[in-house]
Chain A
Amino acid sequence: MGGLLFQAFIYLCAAVIAVPIAKRLGLGSVLGYLLAGIFIGPVIGLVGSETQTIQHFAEFGVVMMLFLVGLELQPKMLWEMRSRLIGLGGLQVALTTALITAAALMMGLFWTVALTIGLIFSLSSTAIVLQTLNEKGLTKTEGGRAGFSVLLFQDIAVIPMLALIPLLALPELVAGSGESLTTAAESYGDAGHHHDLSLVDGLPGWAHALVVLGAIASVLLGGHFLSRPLFRFIAESRLREIFTASALMLVIGIALLMTLVDLSPALGTFLAGVVLANSEFRHELESDIEPFKGLLLGLFFITVGAGIDFNILFNDSLTILSLTVGVIVIKGLVLYALARAFRLATTDGWLLTLGLAQAGEFGFVLLSFSLQNQVLPAELASTLSLVVALSMLLTPVLFIVYDKLILNRQPDSDQRRADSIDETGSVIIAGNGRFGQIVNRLLVASGVQTTVLDHQADIINMLSKVGVKSYYGDASRPDLLHAAGIESAKAVVIAIDDRSRTLEMVEHIRRHYPEVKILARAFDVNHLYLLNKAGVDIAVRELFDGSLELGKAALRAVGVHPFKVEKMSMAFRKHDENGLNTLYELWDENTEMASNKAYLARAREHGDTLKGMMETDRMQLHDRSERGWTPPPKHYTKDMGE
């Protein structure tokens, strides 16, 4: 127990120190984790022996990441991407594999070894690139989209690679270490769960295939038909931690099922994600899984950093550095050529080229897999894993090159304009009851894209029946706001039926997303002032306008001229708003309004001026506080030179 707590403390401590510093230096969180790992591992030697075990655990972060990637991908969108996915992604993997295999052959390696290396280095780091694109806000650029399709193809391509690599086993290695064959199956896949269970062991080929197909079908069908009633049932219990538990259960369950049938858990959860992408619970699932993914991926990168063998690096630094540079150059060349062939704009092309030129985390997975399957000799594997790690370490540098050289050189690239159009009018509406609904309908009718969040499953259910896109979730949770895309939203409308939570949301959003406009529903004057103090941009008293409208109707009903009613109500509104502003100075959040003497006195005074104003208006048709059309004085034409 003590040892475990100590290790956990060391890992978390390193992350907490290194990641914020790396981010502040503009290096991104992934490099921060890697550096933290290097520091606690090879540099000061606090950890090391257990990294292998932790890495298996941490690889679960990759599984969760693919689940989240799947959640982002509506099947429709995936279908629309198909040409780019297969064209760009397929060619990238094929060409890079071919070139690197050829290079390895020229260095005198046996063809199976060369091909394995080619496959390993054809992959790029989904985790680093997606994270970096997200942090830099580049996901919606053409280059970002192209990069995403390439990464997606690679992630899918890992599955056949896992099937292919055991066939490339070297006879001399197999003969040399017979006993390790038995352990190979253990770490099949990326989750690295040790399992002795298998549903397919000893089954004939046809039954094996049937079980595998059955497992995939159960993920697809279960995701499609069972998840919704299940989540709705859980959501109605209003227990947040149970929802989180069920999200985790889902991901772990699918990963387990996949390992049982010898499939990649990453593929399984990815499929489940795609199936759930259209679900109204998508944002909630996303925000529940996200922190686990983040931490586990972070852990994964720390273990990669901690596992770097500096002895090999120092003994043979020239070889390893030139191999790393060689891999980056070859990958870059392929990507650049593809960017040209697929007619990406120059900046987008460079983003693709520089962004994806590294090797990826699946490289580590494939390396250990190849090692266990006697495809690669151990010494070569550890050298190559160093090359993978170094190329990943260099990624932030390449992104800095992109920022400094490419973006600066082409400030007015055509992609930027397209970008801003893409993101116009994304408004998050929290709360879709009587109030939020009307706001949402107006925005949607005006062609503004909205994302609606509500914590009542039955409202969501009803809305989906009338065709309004909405998601289940407690909008006051920061992680859900994040999942709903607050980073790219222009405005948040808070229309939830809870005073204090509205206030908390305003405070939270103002602190973390200063750019986003916050519009909130205020309950009364006191709430309005509290919201103002919390930094809301616009707050509207929920009953004010409705009451004013009914008051106007009443005036018209008793025979006041409609245009005069309009002017009176405008004057009333203006007077009221002025009053609010002057009274705000006397308002004190800690003193109850009823006992705030100065406030009450001023409020009374203000009420009197209104009375006086309306009085004057009635008597003289005109008053300075209500400037409207004024008749010139009688006989004014006399001094006009008549």
Chain B
Amino acid sequence: MTRKSVNRILILLAHPSLDRSEVNGPLAQAAADIEGITLVDLYAEYPDFQIDIDREQQRLLNHDVIIFQHPLYWYSTPAILKEWQDLVLEHDFAYGSKGTALHGKLFLNALSAGGAEAAYRAEGYNHFTIRELLQPMEQMASLCGMRYLPPFALFGARTAVDEGRIEHHIDNWIELLKALRDQKLDIETAQNLPRLNSDLNQIIKET
């Protein structure tokens, strides 16, 4: 693998009602101010769901890290991200014998979930861990030859602001994005975590 000095990061933000968002809106705002990051608000760009496939494929080619940022809806993404997957990740572009466009890129979900983290395990009411639930996404990355990272997740999102947990989460987000950009993330260690933000100090290298 060739080492470039910085990674270009693409955040595909999907939130159908951003003006009511307490988590994804502020996260997106924080990311927008960071140099070297492209933030795409999918619902704003394609309010009629008419996704411009050529444009989206070009965007993928232009970046090294692909992030789906979204609230978790029914253990998956909001509808437009699914539509985006269906249309943009075409045969011979993203997969298939000639589909090598995404090979080697990093992929992760940055998501907010309503339930508490304790609900996401075998004995919790969601029965599966968040990583298990995201397995379709992990397999999508794998089929496209991308390197999958565990989700950067905020649990109990509906009360995060009231409980004062949002500031710390945003700080972590900024720190993570900068580390990804500057290639300071220990990918191998990170890949084995249940979620990316369990302990950032552990996976961000100093040099």
What residues make up the interface of A, taking CB atoms closer than 8 Å to B? Answer: 570, 627-630, 632-633, 636, 639-640
- Contact (Cβ within 8 A) B96 A627: no
Q: Mostly helix, strand, loop or mixed at chain A's interface?
A: loop
The distance from the CB of B22 to the nearest CB of chain A, in whole angstroms, is 20
- Residues of A within 8 Å of B90, CB to CB, are 630, 632
- Contact (Cβ within 8 A) B97 A639: yes
- Contact (Cβ within 8 A) A636 B87: no
Flag B82-106 by CB within 8 Å of A: 1 or 0 each.
0000110011000111000000000
A-B contact pairs, 8 of them (CB 8 A): A570-B50, A627-B52, A627-B53, A627-B54, A628-B87, A633-B91, A636-B96, A639-B97
The answer for the CA separation of A479 and B87 in the assembled complex, in Å, is 52
- Residues of B within 8 Å of A632, CB to CB, are 90-91, 96
Q: Which residue of A lies closest to B83 (CB)?
A: A629
The distance from the CB of A412 to the nearest CB of chain B, in whole angstroms, is 17
- Residues of B within 8 Å of A570, CB to CB, are 48, 50
The answer for the CA separation of A629 and B96 in the assembled complex, in Å, is 16
The distance from the CB of A278 to the nearest CB of chain B, in whole angstroms, is 34
The answer for the CA separation of A570 and B143 in the assembled complex, in Å, is 31
Q: Which residue of B lies closest to A571 (CB)?
A: B50
- Residues of A within 8 Å of B52, CB to CB, are 627
- Residues of A within 8 Å of B86, CB to CB, are 629
- Contact (Cβ within 8 A) B50 A636: no
The distance from the CB of A269 to the nearest CB of chain B, in whole angstroms, is 45
Out of B87, B91, B97, B143, which one reaches A627, CB within 8 Å?
B87
- Residues of B within 8 Å of A633, CB to CB, are 91
The answer for the CA separation of A104 and B91 in the assembled complex, in Å, is 92
The answer for the CA separation of A289 and B53 in the assembled complex, in Å, is 57
- Residues of A within 8 Å of B48, CB to CB, are 570
Contacts A627-B54, A630-B90 given; 14 further ones with Cβ under 8 A? A570-B48, A570-B50, A627-B52, A627-B53, A628-B87, A629-B87, A630-B91, A632-B90, A632-B91, A633-B91, A639-B96, A639-B97, A640-B96, A640-B143
The answer for the CA separation of A636 and B86 in the assembled complex, in Å, is 16
- Residues of A within 8 Å of B91, CB to CB, are 630, 632-633, 636
- Residues of A within 8 Å of B97, CB to CB, are 639
The distance from the CB of A632 to the nearest CB of chain B, in whole angstroms, is 4
The answer for the CA separation of A630 and B53 in the assembled complex, in Å, is 11
The answer for the CA separation of A640 and B94 in the assembled complex, in Å, is 12
- Residues of B within 8 Å of A636, CB to CB, are 91, 96
The answer for the CA separation of A632 and B93 in the assembled complex, in Å, is 11
- Residues of B within 8 Å of A627, CB to CB, are 52-54, 87
Please give me the 4 A-B residue pairs with the lowest Cβ-Cβ distance, nearest first. Answer: A632-B91, A627-B53, A639-B97, A629-B86
- Residues of A within 8 Å of B50, CB to CB, are 570
The distance from the CB of A400 to the nearest CB of chain B, in whole angstroms, is 34
The answer for the CA separation of A639 and B54 in the assembled complex, in Å, is 24
The distance from the CB of B62 to the nearest CB of chain A, in whole angstroms, is 19
- Residues of B within 8 Å of A630, CB to CB, are 90-91
Flag B150-193 by CB within 8 Å of A: 1 or 0 each.
00000000000000000000000000000000000000000000
Q: Which residue of B lies closest to A567 (CB)?
A: B50
- Residues of B within 8 Å of A640, CB to CB, are 95-96, 143
The answer for the CA separation of A630 and B54 in the assembled complex, in Å, is 13
